[in-house]
Amino acid sequence: MEEKTVHVPLISCGHCVKTIEREVKELEGVNSVEGDEKTKMVRIKWENPATWEMIADPLKEAGYPVED
């Protein structure tokens, strides 16, 4: 299992966090997603077949690009 915590600077409220969590949890292989609106950080845990690119691209398309 892989895990990554990333900064998502466009998080501004709880709705943003819920949107991110919903979008990422739908991806095959994603085990958990936890966002924090105060720190603008998101922790994601995943395993095959998911890859980081498969997670980061939908976030960018939803309007929440990550900063590594």
pLDDT at 10: 97
pTM as predicted: 0.90
Cα separation, 5 vs 35, in Å, equals: 9
Q: Which CATH architecture describes the domain 2-61? A: 2-Layer Sandwich (3.30)
pLDDT for residue 56? 95
Residue spans per domain, the chain = 2-61
State the Cα–Cα distance between residues 54 and 33, nearest whole angstrom.
14
- In the predicted model, residues of the chain with pLDDT beneath 50 are none
